[in-house]
Amino acid sequence: MPFLSPFNHQSLSAAALGAASESDLIPCADVLAHEPLTNDPDEEDALPSTDTESLICKTYVVTEQLAGQRIDKVAAEVFADYSREQIKHWLESGELSVNGCVQKPKYRLKVADTLQLHAKRVSQQPDVAENIALDIVYEDDAVLVVNKPVGLVVHPGAGNWQGTLVNALLYHYPNSRLLPRAGLVHRIDKDTSGLMVVAKDSQSQLHLINQLKNKSVYRLYQALVIGRAYDLARHTTIDAPIARHATQRTKMAVVQGGKSAVTHLIQVNAITEYFSLVKVRLETGRTHQIRVHLSHLGFPLVGDTVYGSARKNATLIHQLPPAQSEAFKNFPRQALHAYELGFVHPKTGLPVQVTAALPEDMTQLLATLQA
């Protein structure tokens, strides 16, 4: 029997996240900048356009409606094609000014103040397009959803400059070179399988990033966990802050004073006396969040060599029948799959829901454990 907990999908209209009226902007040239995804600690440079330097030149005159608000808040609203991080950078560099003068982000605007954005985009080192097959489960003119296989790194970085999802996107969708991270909005670990949404244009990308911040994107995972179902079912919500481990800097940990992290266990199914299949909803998206939270409570994921317990694994190997013991011992990665993804379509404002079945390695492991 499954253990259930309530769960509501959140939604957010496209209009609520849309840009300010175009009539408020007086463009000299309308060229998109390449800003980073602000919640990604391992970012690399995005791809440039074919131009080596492009000028962004826009002006906005403050109306009575926006007077009294901070410049960074107003700029993020009226220059909605660009991220808050990019706006912050331009304020600090002086490329975004008020009446021709550099102001701090907390400066409060007055009626008829003129915001002037004059910024250059400089080309960055391009990533390589590679013919890597993609499993596309949803696609239209604005977005696509990829079912990422186990072992595929999401974006280039130290030790993985090629053979990544970004390299594949650049090959199959050449226009993605104009977007930060080739249109990526979020990421999942190399050895986690499942669904990722990718934007095809800058407005859709920013819209989806804002949805992540406002929690109108929902992500559901299936995790095969070491633990009894009735013990897991007592933890419907895990609310524990996460930060970098104090001594093992490649790991994350539950740390007092860390970043807020909330994980919901929405269904728990007993697989055997020792294993449970858990459906998980992320409310926040911290690095390794599901793995850290479940391990912290004493329920590590099967195959998780980073957050698992070698002692607990050794005990289980001796308690299980031979076939189950071998399958458990040799499973090569954390048993985690992003099986459902929902978001508000950035163009239509309609809800989109996509699902992906468990990958073969997890279904085979489940079959063996249940035999």
Residue type, 246: A
189 is catalytic: yes
What is the C-alpha to C-alpha distance for residues 191 and 181, in angstroms, rounded to an integer? 20
What HEC string does the chain produce? CCEECCCCCCCCCCHHHCCCCHHHCEEEECCCCCCCCCCCCCCCCCCCCCCCEEEEEEEEECCCCCCCCEHHHHHHHHCCCCCHHHHHHHHHHCCEEECCECCCCCCECCCCCEEEEEEEEECCCCCCCCCCCCCEEEECCCEEEEEECCCCCCCCECCECCCCHHHHHHHHCHHHHHCHHHHECCCCCCCCEEEEEEECCHHHHHHHHHHHHHCCCEEEEEEEEECCHHHHCCCCEEECCEEECCCCCCCEEECCCCECCEEEEEEEEECCCCEEEEEEEECCCCCCHHHHHHHHCCCCECCCCCCCCHHHHHHHHHHCCHHHHHHHHHCCCCCEEEEEEEEECCCCCCEEEEECCCCHHHHHHHHHHHC
Identified catalytic residue from 81, 189, 191, 304: 189
What is the C-alpha to C-alpha distance for residues 157 and 43, in angstroms, rounded to an integer? 8
Residue 200, class by beta-carbon neighbours within 10 Å (0-12 exposed, 13-18 middle, 19+ buried)?
buried
What is the C-alpha to C-alpha distance for residues 113 and 250, in angstroms, rounded to an integer? 47
**Which residues are designated catalytic?**
189
